[in-house]
Amino acid sequence: MANYDDIRKRAKDALDTIADVSVEAYKLAEEKARVFAKKAKLNAAIANERALIRRLKVEIGGTYYNLHKDDAEEALQQNCDGITLSLDRIAAKLRELEELKNSNFCEEETEECAADCECKEESADTEHKEQ
């Protein structure tokens, strides 16, 4: 019987050790998860603040440009001139796009073209006149 009691005691000791290790592992995992969540929350808050700063800088730049595009400080005049040139190029390209949109010429027939222009009607009129 001593043998059975000895085995039973060793098994109980082993289970107690496993339980203790499991509890410690759980506590460690819980703490790591808590720290990870806190880090993620802090990183998200930092990213939000940085995005706000970028947006505010853009707004400040836009406001400055609108107020001082013709009389900017020397350090900023080149940037203001660059913005003005880009805006002029954009306006020119928009006019060119509008001209193309209003033209009746299409290089190739596409679904978009068929819906927007009169190419088919003109080519049909031309074919009809030729016959």
Residue 117's pLDDT is 55
Residue 114's pLDDT is 56
Instruction: Give 93-118 pLDDT, tens digit per residue.
Output: 999 999 998 887 655 555 555 555 55
Lowest-confidence segment of 3-7, 34-38, 54-58 by average pLDDT: 3-7
Q: Give 69's DSSP letter.
A: S
Any residues with CB less than 8 A from the CB of 104 and at least 6 apart, and which?
117, 118, 119, 122
Residue 66's pLDDT is 94
Any residues with CB less than 8 A from the CB of 106 and at least 6 apart, and which?
113, 117, 119
Instruction: Give 9-48 pLDDT, tens digit per residue.
Output: 888 888 889 988 999 999 999 999 999 999 999 999 999 9
Distance CA(116)–CA(124), nearest Å, equals 16
Q: 115: how many CB neighbours lie within 10 A of its CB?
A: 7
Residue 30's pLDDT is 94
pTM of the full predicted structure? 0.51
Distance CA(27)–CA(100), nearest Å, equals 69
